[in-house]
Amino acid sequence: MVVDDSVVIRGMISRWIGAEPDMEVSASLRTGLDAVNQIERIKPDVAVLDIEMPELDGISALPQLLAKKRDLVIIMASTLTRRNAEISFKALSLGASDYIPKPESTREATAAETFHHDLIQKIRHLGARARRRASPAASPSMAPAPERARGVSAQPAAAPVAQLQLARQPFSMLAPRVLLIGSSTGGPQALMTLVADIGPVIDRFPVLITQHMPPTFTTILAEHLGRASRRPAHEAIDGEIVKPGRIYLAPGGRHMRVVRHGAETAIALDDGPPVNFCKPAVDPLFNSAIDVWQGGIMSVILTGMGSDGMRGGKEIVAAGGSVIAQDEATSVVWGMPGAATNAGICAAVLPLNQIAPKLVRLFSGDRS
């Protein structure tokens, strides 16, 4: 269900969805009020919901839609303004599954292409996961076969996974000196849960985070992380020295790396091409950290689409460091952590609420 007061945007998104073999548009509506009034008749799997609309805006329509269809996947769509970014974060706390920034103008070919790619991927992965959860016959590690339906068809999982039987790496015997975290879809909520409970780690060690997110959104995410952790958190600045007691977040639209700066470590931002279709990407951070901290790296891969972080995580393990992945049951999308798990590079695959206690123990000297 596409809900947007712009006939141009509605038509564009509807054409994109209609071109996909595993999706179809169940409704194209102008206002949030239309969506609320028709949701029980339409019964879509996914709603792409604009924020600014007449009669009933997206943030007001959101709880009403979820009240009428609890399993509805809602993707908030908005232009990149601070106000809309703040509203998108509020929407996540109210039950939205994800957000996506709309290009300022559909004439911007690159921006429109990115929007197209990201939107289709979000609809496909979030919709398929919701349908697997709704199916009592579906196993937690394997999706049902595709089926034609109103909205999104579930896609087969990349590979059947028996998580408990996958190979595990031992935790590094080297004391960790830094915590690196990578995340994407579902990441903001997971990050705020995690940083709230790792205060003892942050106080003694630097924490560097790459979250797939556009500019403006990362500014606000850093503010939220600071409030959740009660520690200093900010978007990383090119050339600044990395210090314990602080959280550094890769700014939207730029890759964050670390480099040696005499006896210290400095942030290095760059405007290079996307890596793994992402900018910022997790792999550049993970790979660069090896030159600085060698085997003293503890890395965490949280919920997200794709496989970003897996290759960098493999290099971290080869250098003597460790990788922890979020488990499938607590991930919004088990793409990134699933790729790391399937690659056999993880020392642990844990539910979100167990990751922080484990990190506190590991950074306090536990090596198991």
Catalytic residue chosen out of the listed positions 98, 283, 308, 327: 308
3-class SS of residue 337: helix
Catalytic residue chosen out of the listed positions 4, 26, 50, 212: 212
**Residue among 184, 118, 146, 158 nearest 332 (CA):** 184
Is 308 tagged catalytic?
Answer: yes
**Residue among 105, 4, 119 nearest 54 (CA):** 4
Q: Are strands 255-261 and 264-270 parallel, antiparallel or unpaired?
A: antiparallel
Catalytic residue chosen out of the listed positions 26, 172, 184, 331: 184
DSSP string computed for 33-101? HHHHHHHHHH--SEEEEESS-SSS-HHHHHHHHHHH-TT-EEEEEEES-HHHHHHHHHHHHHT--EEEE
Phi-psi region of 186 (alpha: psi -120 to 50; beta: other; left: phi over 0): left
**Residue among 307, 308, 309, 300 nearest 327 (CA):** 300
Task: Identify the burial level of 105 via C-beta atoms within 10 angstroms of its C-beta, where 0-12 means exposed, 13-18 middle and 19 or more buried.
Answer: exposed
Which sequence positions are flagged as catalytic? 184, 212, 308
